[in-house]
Structure 1
């Protein structure tokens, strides 16, 4: 049979070459992987496919340029996610030389060693030479953990091991495992850095910050969109007003029946996946009577076969709750009730984690943790692991003015630069990957930064394209599965926010979104109590989105 013949040929080949030849083959394979594999991964993930060349816009993530998470994320980010294995092509040769130098001594000291290995007896740069000076030594691991190493030029045998990074060598055999055990231990995981917000730390009661996130998703501080803040000629329109702590918009009262009528029917006809959204957190905090009534209303509306799922909490724990345990109890009670009442329906929540956009700016992280102590990444990580939900929408496009008050170091120039929307988005989604939240649920974005105030968007096509690339392109390129657009005639701070222009008129932002072919990844939020033309608004959005969240 062909397979057996190939297997026999491989065995004959491996049996016919010397140990030294096998060693060089392994070294050659290592060097090839280090040099060639990164070249394959130079595609730019930060651009929306099909966009024209950028002009005076923020640059997206680019591995070929040397971008890595070391210049973006804080020190407690797990290195294995990006920093250790992503080697830009321009650094690959240096990496190969490092591991091949001195007969592979650096590789040997890196630990843990394989069960068997061969080393050069004298210093040799295997990245430039094909021979070992002074011959080779073959080492194999013993049950005690020690290595028995035989010099293949003179037959001399030594016994070696590493303890706390220091090499121990002796000429006599070590004791057998029955009388002693190796003191060498390998950690199974990296120690967790200390954090000011561990589970044992008392949590202060949150006070209303100067950026308010109400239950229905009104945006605090979406930021001032720009093309490139470093370009003097760039036109920078101001499209949002700074909200205040006194902002208290609320969701429509349950029971208006709007979601049961034309809106669901119209969304179904437009072939949209339909989600119903109601924030049950405030009702839970108001007591059993209010929570039961709100839960029953949501269940009644969601039992329709046309409904894919329900989103029952938005910006969870940003305000209202006083302890982490209280948040987890709410999640457990809500999910258990909804699972029982709505079998087969998907459950979703929304979270906001301000510090994720700070990158490695510790002052930014510290400041935002103080403002919203229950939505640090450690707390939200525990919420997601405790809650039984299928989808999580992470708020994006918020805190723009706050981020710009802090600086990070530009990896290319070494100079400080303000945290821009693209940098904040990049930092957020690299953090999400590092935290492995995408293994717990479908992770998407609720994007607030593309909405404008007033009847008409002030952005030109170039400005809109820059914002789409910075916010949506970077998020999708770094793993966001879906983008839910907020701002269809939504009110906050006495102003109306829009994605389209008044009267459902298209604008550069909408044209830029629909021109990217992203319909399958886009969703929109619509409040039936605040529309342009009632359910007809859905028909217009169906041209560019595939999902809809209907507020009830």
Structure 2
């Protein structure tokens, strides 16, 4: 908690051009002198043991030809004799029951004492009965597959961003999930976001249908893509009401599926590993005299009170930095927006990451973006570029089917600001 507070306070102050004094150089446990000159002031270095103490520890174990080390040898091992009367030993353990030389294969075809190498380009952890090597190769060759490869090479953590609700309702979830799992099997992919706007996109008529979708999609992807994190994006408008009962009744009546208890159950049951909360509704509480800043504060107070971050990673999602043609904010306005909509969710100790929509294209071909055309600089893009210390906490979405320039150029630009990217599938 203390480290997190230092982190966000330092970020907020740095945005305002205020320095934070470093820990005293006279502290014998300080090792700040070993850090780079441009290290943020709120990042500090302290020895667990000072160099002098470390030397004393080493001398204790090494003096007298290491006698203290020998005297502290392992405790007498616990030995089980399987031949002893009444002792039963398992006979179904893995391995062939034979001794092998150090470094030799455990099984025929294994390398370096491990398991056999995959016969195809498919990663070994994917069950070939579920996701075939052919499916994996086909996924790699799609626009999304190539974008995943490029993004991973740039150092970004990659998520697959897809929509499975329609497939679930059409009875095609199993087949589509296999294609998504094949795409997610590429190196660098950490997770799959299988739904956006869930609960408020009008795809489900009842809460039971919504719960069934979340459970079915989660179960399918857990089986097909073991080890990958699962995520959904939604909104909980009632959180913005705070303690206003009239507001809560009105919002709940309008969007009954967005029940925080239901969404919390998805987290508690382990159905998803990341929940992203959209902030686009913060300007809609004027009838109850709740301004956007207060609505946002109300939301994160509710998230903290429910301890959702004990079950999953919580992310804030924001589309407000982009505008048709490019952001028109001045440098001062952009700095204030960053403070209000990026720093604040982190500082409120509820969101771990912030996802910004930096570019999208509507059905008529109109493009909304944060930067200028062809990644031209503008004040907003320049200000975002200064957030290098929290790059791992910043994410964005990318659609390889409608690039700004081309996939390589686009992802290079995004990787300079964002540590994570959600690659959309067709």
- Find 1:456's aligned residue among 326, 343, 355: 326
Which deviations, in whole Å up to 9, do the C-alpha atoms of 1:39-95 show, x marking residues without a partner?
xx99985973411169xxxxxxxxxxxxxxxxxxxxxxxxxxxxxxxxxxxxxxxxx
- Find 1:540's aligned residue among 391, 396, 413: 413
CA distance in 2, matches of 1:42, 1:304: 36
- Find 2:254's aligned residue among 358, 363, 371: 371
What does residue 272 of structure 2 align with? 389
Higher-Rg structure is: 1
Q: Is 1:468 matched with 2:338?
A: yes
What does residue 206 of structure 2 align with? 323
CA distance in 2, matches of 1:491, 1:376: 30
How far residue 463 of structure 1 moved from its aligned partner, in angstroms, is 0.9
How far residue 364 of structure 1 moved from its aligned partner, in angstroms, is 2.8
Cα 1:507–1:481 change in 2 (3 A) is same
8 A contact 2:276–2:317 mirrored in 1: yes
CA distance in 1, matches of 2:368, 2:189: 27
CA distance in 1, matches of 2:199, 2:229: 21
How far residue 359 of structure 1 moved from its aligned partner, in angstroms, is 2.4
What does residue 102 of structure 2 align with? none
CA distance in 2, matches of 1:506, 1:43: 28
Cα 1:264–1:42 change in 2 (3 A) is closer
The DSSP-based 3-state class of the residue aligned with 1:311 is strand
How far residue 531 of structure 1 moved from its aligned partner, in angstroms, is 1.7
8 A contact 1:311–1:349 mirrored in 2: yes
CA distance in 1, matches of 2:263, 2:363: 26
How far residue 337 of structure 1 moved from its aligned partner, in angstroms, is 1.3
More helix by share: 2
What does residue 266 of structure 1 align with? 150
Query: How do 1:321-470 and structure 2 match up within 5 A?
Result: 321-396=204-279, 398-407=280-289, 418-420=290-292, 422-453=293-324, 455-470=325-340
Which deviations, in whole Å up to 9, do the C-alpha atoms of 1:388-439 show, x marking residues without a partner?
222111112x0244123431xxxxxxxxxx412x222211111110111111
What does residue 284 of structure 1 align with? 168
Cα 1:259–1:456 change in 2 (3 A) is closer
What does residue 422 of structure 2 align with? 549
CA distance in 1, matches of 2:179, 2:224: 12
Please give the TM-score of this superposition, normalised by the length of structure 1: 0.50
Please give the TM-score of this superposition, normalised by the length of structure 2: 0.64
What does residue 257 of structure 1 align with? 142
Q: Is 1:528 matched with 2:412?
A: no
Which deviations, in whole Å up to 9, do the C-alpha atoms of 1:226-263 show, x marking residues without a partner?
xxxxxxxxxxxxxxxxxxxxxxxxxxxx99921112x1
How many residues of Structure 1 are paired with residues of Structure 2 in the alignment?
297
Which deviations, in whole Å up to 9, do the C-alpha atoms of 1:441-487 show, x marking residues without a partner?
0111122222212x232211111111111111110001211111114
CA distance in 2, matches of 1:43, 1:533: 35
How far residue 321 of structure 1 moved from its aligned partner, in angstroms, is 1.4
More relative contact order, 1 or 2 (CA 8 Å, 6+ apart)? 1
Query: How do 1:25-174 and structure 2 match up within 5 A?
Result: 48-52=12-16
Q: Is 1:308 matched with 2:193?
A: no
Cα 1:471–1:273 change in 2 (3 A) is same
8 A contact 1:349–1:391 mirrored in 2: yes
8 A contact 1:255–1:297 mirrored in 2: no
The DSSP-based 3-state class of the residue aligned with 1:484 is strand
Cα 1:493–1:462 change in 2 (3 A) is farther
The CA RMSD measured in Å over matched residues stands at 2.6
CA distance in 2, matches of 1:539, 1:314: 25
How far residue 381 of structure 1 moved from its aligned partner, in angstroms, is 2.0
What does residue 214 of structure 1 align with? none
How far residue 491 of structure 1 moved from its aligned partner, in angstroms, is 2.4
CA distance in 2, matches of 1:487, 1:446: 11
What does residue 181 of structure 2 align with? 299
Structure 2 stretches lacking a partner, 5+ long: 19-138
What does residue 496 of structure 1 align with? 367
